[in-house]
Amino acid sequence: MSRIGKQILIIPEKVTVEKTGDVVTVKGPLGTLTRSFLPDVAINIEEGTVTFAPLKETKFARSLWGTYAAHIKNMIEGVVTPFQKKLLIEGVGYKMEVSGNKLVLSVGFSHKVNLDVPEGVTATLEKSTLTLSGINKEVVGGFAAVIRSWKKPEPYKGKGIRYDKEVVRRKEGKKAA
């Protein structure tokens, strides 16, 4: 039994959830999200609530049960309040620049790293903190992971790109004899 799948999702005011075939569309004040789902889980939308039930008694259908509930919950949350990820950059000479829909990273390579900001994501930079926000949780989190992967924080001095509340486990350096 899925704990997440058994929960009933309440649709807030100003949000509409529609299902046509295997595609679920969520419309809200900030935008519209659509996603297609496999027919192994029944998604029932009635009177301001969304419920889920597996149609087959297979391990695959049970695994999708909670996953689909989480996806639709995130879609409903995203069209009401945008998701945010904050990234910090630390290190001498390390910097980020945002110009239009481009992000330029200078992180110790001989060249600058140019990244395109995905559609639906807004990037704002304040000093050494980059804030990514958007209505799709997957896109925001995925883009933040791509940025972080260019220079993960190293354990000796903590240089690199890290999430806002991420704790970098520090190691002790070499000791003098």
CATH number at residue 90: 3.90.930.12
- What percent of the chain has pLDDT above 70? 98
CB-based contact 102:42 (threshold 8 Å)? no
- What is the number of structural domains in the chain? 2
- Residue 136's CB: how many other CB atoms inside 10 A? 21
One DSSP character per residue, 101-143 reads: TEEEEESSSSSPEEEEPPTTEEEEEETTEEEEEES-HHHHHHH
User: Which pLDDT score is estimated for 6?
Assistant: 86
pLDDT at 11 over 70: yes
CB-based contact 106:150 (threshold 8 Å)? no
123 domain residue, yes or no: yes
- 104 and 73 in a common domain: no
- 89 and 75 in a common domain: no
User: Which pLDDT score is estimated for 35?
Assistant: 94
Rounded Cα–Cα distance for residues 29 and 45 (Å): 19
Q: Which residue's entry shows tokens 């240089």?
A: 159
171 domain residue, yes or no: no
Q: What's the pLDDT tens digit per position in 75-114?
A: 999 999 999 999 999 989 899 999 889 999 999 889 999 9
Mean pLDDT, to the nearest integer, of 151-174?
89
67 domain residue, yes or no: yes
The residue from 62, 80, 98 where one domain ends is 80
pLDDT at 177 over 70: no
User: Which residue range is the domain that position 43 belongs to?
Assistant: 3-80
Confidence of residue 174 (pLDDT cuts 50, 70, 90): confident
Q: Which of 81, 80, 82 is nearest to 11 (CA)?
A: 80
- 88 and 70 in a common domain: no
The residue from 80, 108, 138 where one domain ends is 80
- 63 and 92 in a common domain: no
CB-based contact 111:159 (threshold 8 Å)? no
User: Does an H or E element contain 80, and which?
Assistant: helix 59-80
Rounded Cα–Cα distance for residues 76 and 16 (Å): 9
The residue from 51, 80, 109 where one domain ends is 80
pLDDT at 28 over 80: yes
